[in-house]
Copies of this chain bind each other. A is one copy, B any other.
Amino acid sequence: MTDTDARSAGRGFDSAEHQARLAELYRDFEAAGMTPLWLTREGLMPAHPEPRAVPHVWSWADLLPLAARSADLVPVGRGGERRAISLGNPGLTGDPYTTPTLWAAIQYLAPREDAPEHRHSQSAFRFVLEGEGVWTVVDGDPVAMRRGDLLLTPGWAFHGHQNVSDAPMAWLDGLDIPLVAQTDQGFFEFGPDQVRTRATPERSNSERLWGGPGLTPVALAGPRPASPLMAYRWAHTDAALAAQLDLEDEGAAGVMEPGHAAVRYTNPTSGGDALTTMRTEFHRLRAGAGTRPARTSASSVWQVFDGRGSVTLNSLQRDLERGDVIAVPAWTECAFQTGSGLDLFTFSDAPVFEKLHLLRTEVTG
């Protein structure tokens, strides 16, 4: 019996007459579209986040063949726009969302296939687990996609993809579709049916302009919401992670915790996250290392880029193989372990809640 119940009893609130009047009141509330907080408070305002989304791991070995089968059966084209298949969180029944704010999908282009140009207010990126041969054309700038690269499509930038090779290519797409959909912020526009350039340069214009460390073109200086650098190349990411671990060996600062290196992809015009609504990072665990259990009110998605290990998500423990995709809902205790070393790409909605002063994080282990 809650205090409310107790006081009710004291005031004769448990009489049959009272119950009848109360039932009538609740019917009238319902008719008026009104809902009493005292019946919903616990669900609406829990002591800590109690996500409907659940921790989940998808196996790349399952995802890739399904995506490949769809290439035989479903063309890419105007209307459908993309051969992308989202990973729906089992807890979020009815919605194709990986977490309440994030949408992760496997996208697949058959040899010589194109995806037409469009743009949308949703922010997007591609992370490449394997393969090459596709160029994504972002606002007219062709950007090569290769293993280990992160490629950005900031909100409202036109973009299409083309596979110029004779092999299919698949990658991980990340977008803020659920956040934008649930808050009604989505705008979408079709572009040309064909990508506007067939050029396949090694380096995009954005890399030529913004790819020098700490160098800003004077003509383009000034803060921008999202990064003007469209590609973060694996060679740089790999070198930065290796350097952090080397520095740890040399006794210098750099790693997040023992054996755990990490880089964040950032917007060189502001130093903040590369995209406005999503944080993107790459983490490397040295052989034998693990992360200290922690939880955050951000939700995240992880993909195993290389190595093997395991993840513990609250009470769920799962072994991890290359390509596996992991959904980590808000306030889920999360820890990674590895015997032989583990490379992980991840994205989260942390920037949203940092900007709103809602983000909380705590180390639990």
- Chain A contact residues, CB within 8 Å of chain B: 2-8, 11, 13, 18, 21-22, 25, 28-29, 32-41, 44-51, 53, 56, 58, 62-63, 66, 69-70, 72-90, 96, 100-101, 103, 105, 116, 120-122, 155, 177, 179-189, 193, 205, 207-221, 223, 225-227, 229, 232, 236-237, 239-240, 243-244, 246-247, 252-256, 262-271, 274, 276-277, 281, 283, 297, 299, 329-331, 349, 352-353, 355-360
Q: In the complex, A116 Cα to B39 Cα: how many Å?
A: 16
Q: Do B63 and A25 touch (CB < 8 A)?
A: no
Tell whether, in the assembled complex, residue B356 and residue A49 are in contact, meaning their CB atoms are under 8 Å apart.
no
A73 touches B254 (CB 8 A): no
Chain B residue nearest in CB terms to A250: B205
Q: Using Cβ atoms and an 8 Å threshold, which residues of chain B touch A84?
A: 36-38
Q: 26 interchain pairs (CB within 8 A)?
A: A25-B70, A25-B73, A29-B66, A35-B86, A38-B83, A40-B86, A40-B96, A44-B181, A45-B186, A47-B189, A48-B187, A49-B184, A100-B184, A185-B330, A185-B358, A205-B247, A209-B253, A213-B213, A214-B265, A215-B237, A215-B263, A215-B266, A216-B271, A217-B254, A217-B262, A218-B283
Which single member of B45, B79, B96, B253 contacts A2 (CB below 8 Å)? B79
Closest 4 pairs between A and B when the two form their complex, measured CB to CB: A38-B80, A3-B78, A2-B79, A35-B96
Q: Given the interface contacts A243-B208, A243-B209, A352-B356, does A216 sit within 8 Å of B266 by beta carbon? A: yes
A186 to B207, CA, bound (A): 40
